[in-house]
Amino acid sequence: MMSMQDHHLEEASAPILWQPTKDSIHDSLLYQFMVELSEREDTLFHDYQQLHHWSVRHSEHFWDRLWDFCGVIGDKGDRVTDCPPNSTEPAKDTLWFPDARLNFAENLLAYGNQAPNKDAIVFHCEGQPERRQQLSWQALQQQVSQLSQYLRAQGITQGDVVAGYLPNLPQTLIAMLATSAVGAIWTSTSPDFGVDSVVERFGQTCPKILFAADGYFYNGKRHSCTDKVNAMLSELHSVEKVVLIPFASLNAPTDSPLAERYQDWHDVLAAFPPAPIQFERVAFNHPLYILYSSGTTGKPKCIVHSVGGILLNHLKEHMLHSNVNPGDRVFYFTTCGWMMWNWMASGLAAGATLILYDGSPFYPDGNVLWDMADQEGVTLFGTSAKYLEALEKQGYQPEKTHQLPYLRTLCSTGSVLAPEQFDYVYQSIKSDLQLASISGGTDICGCFAIGNPISPVYRGECQGRSLGMDVQVYDDNGQSVIEAQGELVCCNSFPNQPVGFWNDEGDQRYHSAYWEVYPNTWHHGDFIQLTRHGGLVFFGRSDAVLNPGGVRIGTAEIYRQVNPMDEITDSIVIGQNWQNDVRVVLFVQLAAGHQLDETLQAKIRQRIKEHCSPRHVPAVILAVTDIPRTKSGKLVELAVRNVVHQQPVKNVGALANPEALEQYKHRPELSC
């Protein structure tokens, strides 16, 4: 019915690294959606760009048809939005599916009614194959039933907050699903967060129940959580009960004055027999999750996401963009403090089996995740750009050591995926897969830039803009541009916009965060470029953009040249205010056995000059032994810039390695 001929082979400057076959296109859920859409809308769709254009021009029809195609369980209601025809309602204030009623957990658990004995969850723990767990859909439903009964017995109801301070365990998913089943709100952090960081987050959202593990494993070591949980409880007065999961075989704090607030996970489940789950259906825009910004520029923002917005958008991203089918096996390397955990969890709604891993991705070595992918038949493997870079640096070539027969899609996010990492994936991991470099954020718990199974993959590019989202690139004058660098904006409303920020009177902080720069337009804060064939190239965060001589330079352009060098392990670049201008300062973490002498500095500068421009060349290059990052692995250029300018870093607790900042203070080389 539709021709999927590639119309842009000749116009593209970036080489094509992968193309779908005619059969794979026709087998994809996206193609099936296009066929159904063509029949209902009397419109012929020839390629992805045409579909995206239609989905933006007719966004109400798109989201309405998506609900039906994905089989969302619930009452859709009669209205797609609350806007009358030809309304000028601001995009920020549009209310999606205002009459709908649904339950998130009911949709995520529905596939278990068709395949109760198939795997819903498979869990692996670093270095401990004996801890592998399998949970069937039936077992998952039963435990969600038991735990939801417990929550109701504790008086948890719509609007209450339940928190998790947990590793990436099956119990974490069960607790989230049980919370959603009763209509309450789930929020979580990972156990590597310190006490102050957790209190900063949960202290704002005031959870009534806290789920915590006694400890976790990382890099070959057992880490206890019980002392930290005790310390939190002395400040989190809203917490009435702590359900402790005995994961690391450490003793519960029975000698604590707060011991009466603790309950054992197994005792909680044993108190309630499995029964049909009572799913509390709530409004489409009822709060589901509270996610937290990284907090590197101040107190973490508490971003509230809706039941319907998250469900519908994640169904779109899993089924249409990632071609996740029932029975597929989806893995994402993530912690419970990163939005990709929430994204991964929604794979259940597509009928996928979730493959969970908790621990270091390099313990005992870099083969560990690929061993698991082989063993479990992973079909979608998700990770970060930094992980792929580290694999390449350490010389791992999974293609030579692993079969990976079922792997169809590799997703990368968290930071910019350099063109060289595209090469590495196809040369050293698997030559025939869809590499989806995706980008969005905690702000929308989803993607603005994403892959799709019917379009080619161009080197160094995200495949395209997410369906239903009018993503544009604005120049300094607020004009939409193509093939020029600028700000990522979204010019229309979409269901997974946040409900708002927690305890944000009048939505003032929410408006300031996203809607203040351009009238009625979401301003995301990424510095990007849109290509002629609809791809997206990312250059870093726009607030970290360098500006020497008034020329805007994305930091990713410099990392692309420096990080692949054998002498360099990692790097971070900032702009330093200097003599009424800005000069580029590059910090490099050296590989073992190398020194930052004049020869290496000259080599770095020459490489940047040749491959970028003279404007990109750093005025100062300094060696450090560690590069500061957030707990989800993102570089913190703004924190380093503040330290260099002797300004306070507002929230060092958000960093995985805050001690690293000491090396950037009072460097004499930066005062001359």
CA dist 162 and 178 (Å) reads: 10
Whether 4 has a pLDDT exceeding 50, the answer reads no
CATH classification at residue 211: 3.40.50.980
- Residue of 615, 609, 600, 614 whose CA lies nearest to 552: 615
Residue 170, in any domain of the structure: yes
pLDDT in tens, 541-567: 888 888 887 778 889 889 989 999 999
What confidence score (pLDDT) does residue 652 get? 80
Residue 476, in any domain of the structure: no
* Alpha helix ranges (H) inside 47-169: 48-57, 59-70, 104-108, 137-153
Instruction: Give mean pLDDT, residues 283-311.
Output: 90
What confidence score (pLDDT) does residue 653 get? 75
CA dist 252 and 190 (Å) reads: 19
| Residue 525 CB burial class (10 angstroms; 0-12, 13-18, ≥19) | middle
Residue 311, in any domain of the structure: no
Cβ distance 628 to 646 under 8 Å? no
pLDDT in tens, 56-95: 999 999 999 999 999 999 999 999 999 866 666 678 899 9
What confidence score (pLDDT) does residue 86 get? 62
Per-residue confidence band for 1, with pLDDT thresholds at 50, 70 and 90: very low
Amino acid at 585: V
Report the domain count for the chain. Answer: 2
Amino acid at 526: D
CA dist 336 and 345 (Å) reads: 10
Q: Phi, psi at residue 282, to the nearest 5°? A: -125, 175
CA dist 617 and 348 (Å) reads: 47
Upstream peptide bond of 364 is cis (omega within 30 degrees of 0): yes
Q: 12's torsion region: left (phi>0), alpha (psi -120 to 50) or beta?
A: beta
What confidence score (pLDDT) does residue 103 get? 98
Residue 599, in any domain of the structure: yes
Amino acid at 196: D
CA dist 336 and 188 (Å) reads: 6
Helix (H, G, I), strand (E, B) or coil at 242: strand
CA dist 432 and 24 (Å) reads: 12
pLDDT in tens, 337-395: 999 999 999 999 999 999 999 999 999 999 999 999 999 999 999 999 989 999 999 99
What number of CA atoms fall less than 13 Å from residue 623's CA on the CB side? 14
Residue % of the chain over a pLDDT of 70: 95
- Residue of 549, 553, 632 whose CA lies nearest to 586: 553
Two tokens, residue 612: 């970028």
What confidence score (pLDDT) does residue 2 get? 41
Cβ distance 622 to 587 under 8 Å? yes
Cβ distance 211 to 174 under 8 Å? no
Give, for 83, the enclosing helix (H) or strand (E).
Answer: none
Sign of the Cα torsion 541, 542, 544, 548 reads positive
Residues in the chain: 672
| Average pLDDT value over all residues in the chain | 93
The whole domain housing 141 covers 133-282
Two tokens, residue 389: 């870079």
Instruction: Using alpha carbons, list the distances in angstroms from residue 493 to 180, 360, 420, 449, 521.
Output: 25, 38, 35, 16, 9
CA dist 422 and 404 (Å) reads: 18
Residue 626, in any domain of the structure: yes
Last residue of a domain, one of 282, 309, 332: 282
Whether 294 has a pLDDT exceeding 70, the answer reads yes
Two tokens, residue 481: 């541009």
Residue % of the chain over a pLDDT of 90: 82
Whether 3 has a pLDDT exceeding 70, the answer reads no
Q: 471's torsion region: left (phi>0), alpha (psi -120 to 50) or beta?
A: beta
Whether 432 has a pLDDT exceeding 80, the answer reads yes
Instruction: Give mean pLDDT, residues 102-120.
Output: 98
Instruction: Give mean pLDDT, residues 307-317.
Output: 98
Cα 462 to the center of its chain, rounded Å: 15
Last residue of a domain, one of 263, 282, 301: 282
What confidence score (pLDDT) does residue 261 get? 86
Q: How many CB atoms lie within 10 A of CB 516?
A: 9
Per-residue confidence band for 53, with pLDDT thresholds at 50, 70 and 90: very high
Residue 498, in any domain of the structure: no
Angle CA 44–434–24, to nearest 5 = 50
Whether 138 has a pLDDT exceeding 80, the answer reads yes
CATH classification at residue 588: 3.30.300.30
What confidence score (pLDDT) does residue 84 get? 67
Two tokens, residue 366: 């870099």
Q: What is the b/e burial string over 426-437, where b = at least 16 CB atoms within 10 angstroms of the residue's CB?
A: bebbbeebbbbb
Strand spans (E) along 453-580:
457-458, 464-465, 471-474, 485-490, 500-501, 522-530, 536-541, 568-578
What confidence score (pLDDT) does residue 297 get? 60
CA dist 259 and 291 (Å) reads: 28
Per-residue confidence band for 34, with pLDDT thresholds at 50, 70 and 90: very high
Amino acid at 581: D
pLDDT in tens, 160-211: 999 999 999 999 999 999 999 999 999 999 999 889 889 999 999 999 999 9
Last residue of a domain, one of 282, 312, 329: 282
Instruction: Give mean pLDDT, residues 426-445.
Output: 97
Cα 504 to the center of its chain, rounded Å: 24
Two tokens, residue 308: 């319907």
Helix (H, G, I), strand (E, B) or coil at 372: helix
Residue 142, in any domain of the structure: yes
- Residue of 331, 338, 217 whose CA lies nearest to 289: 338
Whether 9 has a pLDDT exceeding 60, the answer reads no
Per-residue confidence band for 630, with pLDDT thresholds at 50, 70 and 90: confident
Residue 185, in any domain of the structure: yes
CA dist 3 and 604 (Å) reads: 47
What confidence score (pLDDT) does residue 518 get? 93
End-to-end CA distance of the chain: 68
Q: How many CB atoms lie within 10 A of CB 634?
A: 18
User: Torsion over CA of 134, 139, 141 and 144, rounded to 10 degrees?
Assistant: -80
